[in-house]
Amino acid sequence: MEYTVKIHKRSKKLSLRIGKDGMPQVTIPAFTPKFIVKKFVAQNKHWIQKHQKIKKDSIAQFLTNSSVTLFGKRYKIKIISTLQPSKVSLLDDVIQIAFHNTSKKRLHPSFNSSNPPVFFTKFLKNTATHYIIKRIVDLAEKMDIKYKNIHFKEQTTRWGSCSSKGNLNFNWRLVHFAPKIIDYVIIHELAHREQMNHSDKFWQLVEKHDPEYRLNRRWLKETGSKID
């Protein structure tokens, strides 16, 4: 079984997670013998296979070879070949993916959701960035909360975070979720600018700006957490 190894000097034991590409990643203390790592992976073979399947099946909720979910709405994917640069276009209920064709032969391009082209992933990231930044500005003004920088990543453990310095981080894969779920994540992180904890005061602030936060939080835990 293939896997990657990450050395963490402060680790006291071996740990295992499934990366965003489905590849098992083993975090180990420095100077751990290779045979120990190999044995650890072998002992967790069934766990790895189980969670690889969960990740694969869960991502398919939002992105398949024939459709993609954007802001909670399902769009059919239409593939075409073009002499122009590759690009993605939103046409009514269809996401059109145009592949650049340099061959004189008539090609029939295909889309693989397990390994989407770079320009398609860039489209998702850009769409998420433009939308979420606007919502952050609007909600921060409504909540009368200040922040510093905004960063977008494909985080593997969370949908958003707020640093002690006032920087906000968001997972661009929020682009798949309904606007109310995205708003909950933004409100949650902005509330941390007032309360860097999960105290009663923190949740009262969240509820003030998202009365349905309990439902949105539950959905994120039950459904959204499966693709991070």
**What pLDDT score was predicted for residue 221?**
83
The pLDDT tens digits for 91-145 are 889 999 999 887 655 556 788 887 889 999 999 999 999 999 999 999 999 999 9
**What pLDDT score was predicted for residue 228?**
41
Structure tokens at 83: 């002499």
**What pLDDT score was predicted for residue 112?**
86
Question: pLDDT-derived band of residue 222, with 50, 70 and 90 as boundaries?
Answer: confident
**What pLDDT score was predicted for residue 15?**
93
The pLDDT tens digits for 153-180 are 876 567 999 998 999 999 999 999 999 9
User: What is the amino acid identity at position 185?
Assistant: V
% of the chain at pLDDT higher than 70: 90
Q: Any idea what DSSP says for residue 96? A: E
Calculate the average pLDDT of the chain: 89
The beta strand positions in the chain, using DSSP E, are 4-7, 15-18, 24-28, 67-70, 73-82, 87-91, 94-100, 150-153, 160-162, 168-171
The pLDDT tens digits for 84-99 are 899 999 988 999 999 9
Residue boundaries of the structural domains of the chain:
4-59, 67-115, 123-227
How far apart are the C-alpha atoms of 74 and 85, rounded to whole Å? 25
The class (CATH top level) of 123-227 is alpha beta
Question: pLDDT-derived band of residue 19, with 50, 70 and 90 as boundaries?
Answer: confident
Q: How far apart are the first and last CA of the chain?
A: 22
- If one compares 21 and 89, the residue with the highest pLDDT of the two is 89
Neighbour tally for 49: CB within 10 Å? 12
